[in-house]
Copies of this chain bind each other. A is one copy, B any other.
Amino acid sequence: MADYDVLTIGETMLRFTPPGVQRIDQAPYFELEVGGTESNTSVGLARLGMNVAWLSRLPANPLGRRIARTLAGQGVDTSHIVWSANDRLGLYFVEFGDGPRPTQVTYDRADSAMSRMQPDELPAELFEPGRARHLHLTGITVAISESAAATARRAVELAKAAGMTFSFDVNYRAKLWSPEQARAGCHEFAAAADIFFTPIRDAESIYGVSGDPDSALAQLQAIYPQATIILTLGAEGAIGAAPGRPAISQSVFPAGTVGRIGGGDAFTAGVLYGYLTDTVAESRLATALRWGAAAAAFKYTIPGDMPLFEKEEVEALLHSGNQAPQVRR
């Protein structure tokens, strides 16, 4: 049995948030959260009972250590973090909106310790055969810097060599790169992925797919035929297809909005959990989508970035309602 079910690599930031819907202008203090797409997914997986290692590069200062300890407290293995003596931690500021005032995010992540990670800083022992079953990466790591992208590329090579499966989430951020850059940057990862996640709106802007979800899915399958492709559709749920199998759609579980940030990462955690625990081809994708939908909905109820749920809670939600996955014709 592998030491780790899932290995994730990515950047995690300290998040500052005015209380409630106060403006940054008027808040006497900022609440602190720890947020990063890969670490959020790691927390979700750990809370669902999986062994997860999260790999990153952090400054060896109180801010960096806070990131590591917060994730360790969620059951994520942080023992492989690469500590940097000099670099800074990425930060971001979230001001929650109300009504016509949009939620406003101010990033301050340039030159972060993670953006300066080098391929040779990857710990070799994590990629020994049998050490980990699955690697999960996102497009953010590819976008933040050349060396981070090279590190991600090297991680995929090592994972493949070790017989690990691999999932990739585009996670497009317009503040980091253009759709063209994203397509170029993500291509080799998507082409290597066993599971490829993308929101339909990003599939449209990056890959130029069009039409309804079924059609968009088919177009992506044509580009990346080797991958199980999962297209998220916002309030319409998700649709996915494994190679050579019928598409399956999944509707959303009704949910609140207090914890929308990190909902997509919780979805990914649920999908990976289902994918790694149900290995029967006939049910695998349906199981994965259903866990994804339930995990995302539950996350929507939890303040902060991390999906602080118990497995039993997600399971209870999953068995409620009528959100059964539907096989598409």
Contact = CB atoms under 8 A, between A and B. Distances in A.
Nearest to A101: B301
Nearest to A306: B26
A302 interface: yes
Interface stretch (A128-136, A190-198, A249-257): A249-257
Interface centre among A21, A98, A101, A302 (most CB of B within 10 A): A101
A63 B105 CA distance: 11
User: Taking the full assembly, how many copies of this chain does it contain?
Assistant: 6
A258 interface: yes
B31 A29 contact: yes
A300 interface: yes
A172 interface: no
B25 A69 contact: yes
A30 B32 contact: yes
A91 interface: yes
A126 to B, nearest CB: 19
Interface of A: 16, 19-32, 61-63, 65-66, 69-70, 72-75, 88-89, 91, 93, 95, 97-101, 104, 106, 108, 110-111, 253-259, 297-298, 300-304, 308, 310, 313, 317, 320
Given A23-B62, A99-B255, A100-B254, 14 more contacts: A20-B303, A24-B63, A27-B32, A28-B29, A29-B30, A29-B31, A63-B93, A69-B73, A69-B75, A72-B72, A98-B301, A98-B302, A101-B256, A110-B111
